Amino acid sequence: MPKIVHLREKCIGCAVCAEMQPNLWSMSKKDGKATLLHSTSKRNISVLPVDTLTHERTQVVAKACPVNIIKLS
Residues 29, 32, 36, 41, Cα dihedral to 10°: -90
How many independent structural domains does the chain possess? 1
pLDDT tens by residue, 3-62: 999 999 999 999 999 999 999 999 999 999 999 999 999 999 999 999 999 999 999 999
Cα 52 versus chain centre, distance: 16
- pTM here is 0.94
Strands 3-7 and 45-49: antiparallel
- Give the CATH number, domain containing residue 15: 3.30.70.20
Task: Give residue 64's domain range.
Answer: 3-72
